[in-house]
Structure 1
């Protein structure tokens, strides 16, 4: 069953071995739009037999796909990118309806997804090994890359198509197969998009998409036919996957609680605008969102004033309206977490300067006001946990050392930012912040499709890199050949 709100071409079945099917479990799940509150589709719930079929098909198809020449695989990936580009408007509307982000953001997501197929097609044909000098003059040693095999890909609900593509483009380009589990409630755009794979020339069975929830995800990553795991999501789920998956290869990109640091010599207006945009983009439901701002005390008052002015950019409303920059949050549990963090802020007397709760008068209660909270204590939930909502907490410190300590005193280490006009101070923070990426004089929400993106050692944010040639390397095995020349 499909709502008339959806495109007539929207797919509402499982995608297994190149076919759309209802699956074998006999169970279904409703998809409710956070935008309208209406049930927009009903999807089959996959069962174990469906998973077995998908994995078996993936392994058979992958054995042929990896033997295909890399230039031929790259040509097919280029076609996928072209076909995806041709359907951006349709897919963006589906994504906004099921996810809640403003339509302009969905369009940008799909544009980047198409670019990734082109980027990784080019990366793949330039992924080469080297000849190594041997201690034995009779030997010749060389290295080369081969596909790992069949990957379980588990993606979250905040970027339904783009985060699939972050694995699919490099994975297919390097000869892998994929069995993909998106969350049920944000799977429609992806299920619709994957129909272009066969049109582009991707062999049937190489990619399957089975939307599901917790127990099904556990079955997927522990399936004996799965060789490796690609995961984007929460740190808590990542840890469960790692414990259960054992020695399987994994790329793990988990939670962030990105600090944006504003030094006393910063361009305050630019810093405030970057902080606000990094906090309201996708309703703050981004792993590299501006989760907290650490500002030098000498410029605190000026920064707060500039932030309140910049907050006028966050226009809450219907995500299909051209003037809206802040749509509804995606789901009830995430919104409830924001409620809890703000309840503590009120109880402890923090200064809520604007916003502060859910907005009434909308079709659902997921429309959350953009919120700025000042004088936040370092031991508060707003600082210690990833809020994952449109909230900007401001914390004050009196020195570079204290700002750096507050930034690093966190279990998560994904991405951070620092504003300063002194490049010596910038280098100091870049080299000493315990995050995978440090952005200077821009939002810590910055992301580029060619940037190696991921966590840092010693934190609960995972390992491996999403972006550029680094993902191709992580989705390949480095192999070595040794040839004896003597008789």
Structure 2
């Protein structure tokens, strides 16, 4: 078995070291989760929602400590880590309300004397969730809350931020006198693949890279060839993105800059699957956008993530991630792009940073426009029309989100209609609302829905009930 290590991205210190659990240990956990699923799924959705609401107080009471641990493990600025916790609780509460409002209520079909029918949503069983490091609380709660609300139990792998797995176990493992509702797993990639291929689970949720998604698909295919009772699993893939924003000729420029730079690109140091990674600006605003975006980027402070004044923490993958971004910037410059600001690699403490970098005069075929960039680099391309912008936005193999900034509703609706992304933003970006489904197409996912009433339905199995009441008594 391998050893799981987590390195503080800023200090370089090892902050977690533990041997990967064996498949036998994980199988024992899954058996306990399977047993707990029977009692948990028998509760009403209102009872489950109320118990989950009570469990969320665990996070409120430990807010600062949880945020500090996240900062140590993934390098997220401590203020941002605390804000993520606050919004995670808010997101979970919204989902509890949606569940209580009847998202998974039975669907009754008008009957006849000899027919009564309904469709019921029932628990999947045991859900295996593989969660990433970039939004350790958000991504973990998205699947966890939908699974628990719909009566399933959860095995959570959070190897890159193990403190989050531990806190989720402490908060959700025992509710309403039922134990083993959520257990965490500290395991390596090999053990994770074995879980999918051989263990008694019912659904897999993976949030991560396209490469990781392909590995999950391979494991699912291997499972289908095994002689086990449930060879075909349902699954959810939430993968990467190369998301684009279009600044139309009638956009509110100040708002567009604030949104695309501070929220769209630089939030979480640019390490977001739905970050704005390409900007297309109508030629009317191009130079003005660049000037304002430069000022916005230069206002950020990178460095020690424990310092409350830091807005950009280190990149999680440290020097390799910085070098990759630097190579994309250099390649773009070599091929005619102009560096408006940034572009340099800077050493701070024991790690490297790349300055917030704004690139102008880019072309659609440059690597920086075709690659999912996880970091503070923003390429900006000039366009002359809505049609050109739409064509450029849709040229990506990814399909997570897209955005338009405009004052014209008809222009916005035309943009929405032509997008092939799971989410389309109008006058905002990089913003998840739990009332709306989160979906990825193309290389961004398999089209499965998380969050929203549809996410609760997606995390349930359907059962058709077909009754001939002629032979039933009224008892």
Q: TM-score, normalised on structure 1?
A: 0.89
- What is the aligned counterpart of 2:449 among 461, 465, 483? 465
Shift of 1:202: 6.7
User: 2:144 maps to which residue?
Assistant: 168
User: 1:232 maps to which residue?
Assistant: 207
Q: TM-score, normalised on structure 2?
A: 0.92
Could you say if the C-alpha distance between residues 469 and 274 of structure 1 is closer, same or farther in structure 2, counting changes exceeding 3 Å?
A: same
Q: Is the 8 A contact 1:279 1:392 kept in 2?
A: yes
How many residue pairs get aligned? The number is 457
Q: Is the 8 A contact 2:132 2:160 kept in 1?
A: no
- What is the aligned counterpart of 1:138 among 100, 104, 114? 114
Superimposed CA distance per residue, residues 323-361 of structure 1 (whole angstroms, 9 cap, x where no aligned partner): 211111111343343233223123223111111133223
Shift of 1:200: 4.4
Query: Is 1:478 equivalent to 2:462 in the alignment?
Result: yes
- What is the aligned counterpart of 1:417 among 403, 416, 424? 403
CA separation in 1, counterparts of 2:345 and 2:162?
26
CA separation in 2, counterparts of 1:339 and 1:62?
49
- What is the aligned counterpart of 1:262 among 244, 247, 267? 247
Query: Is 1:34 equivalent to 2:18 in the alignment?
Result: no
Superimposed CA distance per residue, residues 1-29 of structure 1 (whole angstroms, 9 cap, x where no aligned partner): xxxxxxxxxxxxxxxxxxxxxxxx5x533
Could you say if the C-alpha distance between residues 206 and 88 of structure 1 is closer, same or farther in structure 2, counting changes exceeding 3 Å?
A: same
* Partner secondary structure for residue 470 of structure 1: helix
User: 1:22 maps to which residue?
Assistant: none
Query: After TM superposition, what 4+ stretches of structure 1 lie above 6 angstroms from structure 2?
Result: none
Could you say if the C-alpha distance between residues 47 and 202 of structure 1 is closer, same or farther in structure 2, counting changes exceeding 3 Å?
A: farther
CA separation in 1, counterparts of 2:17 and 2:188?
15
CA separation in 1, counterparts of 2:198 and 2:250?
54
User: 1:352 maps to which residue?
Assistant: 339
Give ranges in structure 1 of 5+ residues lacking alignment: 1-24
User: 2:224 maps to which residue?
Assistant: none
Give ranges in structure 2 of 5+ residues lacking alignment: 222-231
CA separation in 2, counterparts of 1:339 and 1:216?
34
CA separation in 1, counterparts of 2:257 and 2:138?
28
Could you say if the C-alpha distance between residues 362 and 198 of structure 1 is closer, same or farther in structure 2, counting changes exceeding 3 Å?
A: same
* Partner secondary structure for residue 133 of structure 1: strand
Q: What pairs up with 1:215-364 in 2 under 5 angstroms?
A: 215-246=190-221, 247-277=232-262, 278-332=264-318, 333-364=320-351
CA separation in 2, counterparts of 1:39 and 1:236?
26
CA separation in 1, counterparts of 2:452 and 2:188?
29
Could you say if the C-alpha distance between residues 54 and 360 of structure 1 is closer, same or farther in structure 2, counting changes exceeding 3 Å?
A: same
CA separation in 2, counterparts of 1:464 and 1:47?
30
Shift of 1:206: 2.4
Q: Is the 8 A contact 1:35 1:98 kept in 2?
A: no
- What is the aligned counterpart of 1:180 among 156, 164, 167? 156
CA separation in 1, counterparts of 2:219 and 2:175?
35
Q: Is the 8 A contact 1:91 1:193 kept in 2?
A: no
CA separation in 1, counterparts of 2:309 and 2:41?
47
User: 1:108 maps to which residue?
Assistant: 83
